[in-house]
Structure 1
Amino acid sequence: SDLPFTPFPLVNTIIATGDNADPLSQTFSDTVFAIEKPFVPTTTTLDISWKVQTDSFTVSGTDTTWFAEEDETYSYNITVRNTGTLTATNVLLRDVLPDSVLNAGDTLSFAIGDLLPSASETVTVNPTVVSDLPFAPFPLVNTIITTGDNADPLSQTFSDTVFAIEKPFVPTTTTLDISWKVQTDSFTVSGTDTTWFAEEDETYSYEITIRNTGTLTATNVQLRDILPDSVLNAGDTLSFAIGDLLPSASSTISVNPTVVSDLPFAPFPLVNTIIATGDNADPLTQTFTDTVFAIEKPFGPTDIIVITTVSTDTFIVDNGDTTWFAFPGDSVCFKITVRNNGPEIASNVILTNFLPDSLFGATFGSGDTLVFNFGNMPAPSDTTVEFCAVVADSLPFYPYPLDNDVILIADNGGPVTASDTVYALEPPPVLTDISVTQFVETDSFTVENSDTTWYVARGETFTYRLKVTNERDVIAEDVVLVDYFPPILSIISGSINPPFGVLNGDSIKWDLGDFSPNETRILSFDATVPTNMPQGENLLTNRVVVQATNQDPLTLANNFAEFSVLNIVPPFREGCEFFTLDFNVFEPQNGLPLGINFELEYSREATLELLDISGYRVTTLYREVFDPGINRREWDGTTENGLQVGSGTYIVTLKTFDSKLICWKKVIIRR
């Protein structure tokens, strides 16, 4: 039963022998071929087929794709067929329902029983797609399993797919569209936009069209028109019952409002608000607005005039005619009267004022144009405009005409023109008062009855200071100062301040330029007293004069100044036998007195005094009768009144009462 291969030769060998056979052994062979036993089946095969039926499908070549909508119940047939030669016994069919159908995931079982060879059995299934797919298209995969006791294989599986899709939108509402068409006598067009105007008392018309732009019949359509302000019956609502409107059907309403005669302002927007409703409209309420602009009714011709007057501080009158003048910086005032003599209201009255060059105001400049809009002026009526301006500081020539021109115009009157002229005159010269004072700085002075006398010593250098002041609130032009100093003095040129002063012989000249209003400047220079000044009192007088090109001739008294200092050279005599001081530099704070030593031939009355460098007596040290021979006196650095003598250069003198002997020594006191 288990051939090594087939056909397998079965060779029989037969041998015959006999004692007296010839040959003794006779051999014979023959063959039978062994073949495999014919197959007798013990199992059968099952085949599954699937046929679906939906309302929607697509075909691509030989492939069909099936679709089922949400909530749709579709059907399919499952056929199991015995394709074997034996009867299939105890056949069972199971259908695993897909997700997203009702009873999703359940398994339907069908007991088919026995199936003869080539016999088949068909089962019909009717699943329903759920209404809320997780996504779409969603694959509904059916898995079908068949089993049989003698099926080979024991379990046969088959799957196929229907794609679940969303249910198409079925509208339950419709849409309403409102259009508006107006008709007035006046309008403007800008590109594709039209602006409509209606005058006061004008009746204009417009049509309102309501159209059903949806796919369902619009039911119980209502149209309301809210009338705008400033028409008769302003604010009222007009209601229109349209009823039902078939798809694409429309209904038109005509309205004829009248503009009131007294608009609050113009142009006044007449805004129509139109509201459409329907039981199944989406949205339930549809609103539309559009606007007509109400304008004033044009007025008939009227008579308008303009009257201009001007005023300045300077004018002349000749035979009843007035000519007006103004100086630079003066104020010029204009008064303009606009009058409507009637008989109609003057509409949109505008006054335009063309200012002349070289006039300036707080809110306008030279050559500006001023525009005044008076709106509507009843008849008769007038109104006035007043304004002032200032003449420029500088003008091209004199007299310079300042022409002020006006134009008056209204929608139903004019134009009317008027003009006024003011002549700008050359300004009178502006005068100033320039003054000069002077003072010096020296180390010595005396005061008597509020008069101060200043002293200088031989060889001393001191400072002259000159104060120049513009006493008025105007510019002092081209100021010149000349200082005539005593010819005996030596001037230190490097000390002249400002340095552009010119030293010329016995004078110094400064060209100081312009002085601002109330400006003050200080000038100075240093002078040195010669060492060979003659004995006695030498009065050194300095004279200065200042002048401006616009100097007021009535105030020349303060343009000149004199100042004197006094140089005193004592008539010292030679002949003292002996006269010395302990110190050339005396420092009283060190506690040592200043020793004064001198020798007299005989006893005589004399005075020891302390003079400053100018020869002024500071204090008397001793006044007595001194012994003949060597005398010594000491001084502690104070005056007769106990006051300390300050630092400086001083002269200690010895003088007899008959003035026949005067001796002196210089000492420097340093504190």
Structure 2
Amino acid sequence: MTTTPGRRSPVRALAPLLCAATLWAAPVPATAQPPAARPAQVEVTTQRAAARAPGDLITYTLTARNKGPSVARNVTATDRLPDGITFVDSSDGCTAAGQTVTCGPEPQLAAGQSRSWRFHARLSPSYEGDGTDLGNSASGTSDATDPDPGNNRPDPVLPPGPFTPVSDLATVKTPLGSGPTVPGQEFEYEIRTSNKGPSDARNVTVTDALPDGLAFVSSADPCAASGRTVTCGPLARMIPGGDVVWTFKVKLDAAYSGDGENLRNTATSTSASKDPEPADNTSQPVLPPGGVTEPQADVWTTKRTANDTVIAPGQTFEYVVTATNDGPSRAVDTLVTDRLPSRLAFVSSPPSDGCRATDGTVTCGPQAVLEPGASRTWRFTVRLDSDYTGDGSDIRNTATATARTKDPKPENNTSSPAGLPGSRVNKPTADLGVRKEAVGTTPPVPGQTFDYRIRVSNYGPSADAFNVKLTDNLPEGLSYVSSSPSGCTAAGRLVSCRRTAPLKVGETVEYLLTVKIDPAYKGTGSDLKNTAEVTADNIDPASENDKGTATVPGGHVAEPSADLAVVKRAVQTSAVAPGETFDYALTVTNNGPSQADQVSVTDSLPTALSFVSGDATCVSGRTVTCGPLAHLAPGASVTWVIKVKLDPEYTGNGSDIRNTATVDSLTADPRPANNTSAAAGPPAGTVKEPTADLEVGKTTP
């Protein structure tokens, strides 16, 4: 407790006055003073109390004591409260005008008497200081003259600290909606956080750890999720008595199969302020609205044709059936069944779809799990009877989807009826198809022949094909040789094969076309690819398979190859004598298969023979070269003749005058062994005795 002087009235003399102020404490009893023959004095005392939190009530006690010697009349005490502290109430009649609290007046105080007033004030809930700005003092006045006014106003009194905010938060979590909740459904939680004070709660947040089976969806409030933990806030400040409501949406797992008891969960509020009762920060655990009921999946079906291409009797087409799960739960073991009309027959289904048929009923599935919002599509192919004569209006039926999961809307499980593609039927048709391939895998050589195998089929579905004609326009480099069966003809490079008998549905006829590569062909074969095409008098519903294309066997043409052979012989048949001339004929033949290019012959003459003359392309010398001939076709021959002279001094019988000629070209030769001729000698294989026609002349000097 501290004491400070009072205050003198500036208007009239006041009796001695004693004034005491106590913060956060009960009144302090007055201390009796003996009368004195001196001016009155005022005494102010204070008593400190325990620390308070922002928002708490402060009890102030103001005590005025008359230290005499005169009676003090109309005694009042005033207290100017600092900012941050506001007057609340008083049981002693104190009142406030703004921040100024006035207590009294007390009609009179005899010397030695005292009067205490008590009032409540509140420290601002939002106060954030350390208390140094909260100091204040009280003052007292009366009608008497105060001889010592200095003790009427004590020194400012600071409230005790520290001033740590204390906020008692409470949390209530409520599921919104009546329920019961179906697996896969979404619903909302409302979380209400209230501040029971006394201080402002700062940075208020709520966390909600969702159990397995619940997932955060969205929130219009500042709520977000990290994993399964939802956090709402922070709210910067919440006043005492205030509250905040956060709402967020969650989804019950579509695969959930429990009774909901394991979904009970709580929400917890926290703030930066100290909480004196943390037990109510966490809400009571709650279930989804109305609890959890069994899974439900609204499965519905559509059926349609894969396209609108009109078909003919005997043709196939594809149905597409789709089961869609509108939820809210996952559908388990979804099946689609389709009872086909009598004029439709199941043909097949892709392995990935696995539809099958029993007694005209097609079954697709089961799809083990169909999640909410998901669809499963199956395809299967059916055939329209080849003898069907209607317009298609009588061929309409539905597909139905079922699942082991309860369906809340079974009325949409069956699709609308679906009919034939394009909702009509074409006239009976014959789909002709051509498959063409080269026979063999060995690349052919220019000049060789090879076969094309061409199969023409009538795939129907509903009519025989009449006046079937196969044509094959051969490219340059290929020429027609023959066909099997016979009957194909060629006009230039266009080969035509005509069938007089109808080609029945499902029947195939095969042609073998023998063709020849031009012996002079120099390409790789890529330009020899050619196409066969079939036509008939019928409607063909699928013209894209009316043509078949193939290249040469092995996919390319081998390098040209020409088997050249050379023969050397003496042209004359009668023997010659030394010094006489005779001719050799050098004949080159191309045994094919390709054209030979740049063909030449060389002949190295024996020493007893010398070159005299030859054809224009033959070059003289000991080694005679004839050619080159630019091209020699397969089966063709060329002969060069050279004239030689037997040495006049030759004395032999001719057996040693034998030699060969050799042919060469730029084209590869598959049999080089016959490129050199057999050795040839002089005419008749022998040499006559030397002869000399002597002439004698005589002259005179």
Decide which structure has greater strand share. 1
TM-score, with length taken from structure 2: 0.30
TM-score, with length taken from structure 1: 0.31
Using CA pairs under 8 Å that are at least 6 residues apart, name the structure with larger relative contact order, 1 or 2: 2
